[in-house]
Chains A and B, each alone.
Chain A
Amino acid sequence: MTYALTTRYPNLVDRDEIIRVLRAFEMAGFEYVLIGAAAMGFHGIVRATEDLDLFIKATPENVEKLRSALRQAYDNDPQVNEISSADLLGEYPAVRYVPPTGDLYFDVLTRLGEVASFDTIDAQIKDVQGTKVRVATPLALYRLKKDTVRVQDHVDAAALKERFDLKDEK
Chain B
Amino acid sequence: MRVQKFRSIEEMNKASAPESEEPHFERFLRHCARYWAIAPKHYPRGVFKFRSIEEAQRAREKHILLKQ
**A interface vs B, CB < 8 Å?**
7-12, 14-15, 18-19, 37-38, 40-44, 46-51, 79-80, 82-83, 87, 91-100, 102-105, 107, 109, 112-113, 126, 128, 149-150
Contact = CB atoms under 8 A, between A and B. Distances in A.
A83 to B, nearest CB: 6
Interface of B: 19, 23-38, 40-57, 59-60
B52 A113 contact: yes
A46 B53 contact: no
Contact of B47 (A7, A19, A38, A96): A96
Contact of B29 (A15, A44, A113): A15
Contact of A83 (B42, B43, B47, B53): B47
Contacts of B51: 91-94
Contacts of A40: 28
A40, A44, A126: residue with the most chain B Cβ atoms closer than 10 Å? A44
Contacts of A149: 54
Given A11-B37, A102-B45, A107 B56 contact: yes
Contact of B27 (A14, A41, A94): A41
B54 A98 contact: no
Given A11-B37, A107-B56, A95 B45 contact: no
A132 B38 CA distance: 30
A96 B59 contact: yes
Given A41-B31, A93-B50, 16 more contacts: A7-B37, A9-B37, A10-B37, A14-B33, A14-B37, A41-B24, A41-B27, A41-B28, A43-B24, A48-B35, A49-B32, A93-B52, A98-B47, A103-B43, A109-B53, A112-B53
A9 B38 CA distance: 8
A100 B41 CA distance: 13
A98 B24 contact: no
Contact of B49 (A14, A44, A50, A92): A92
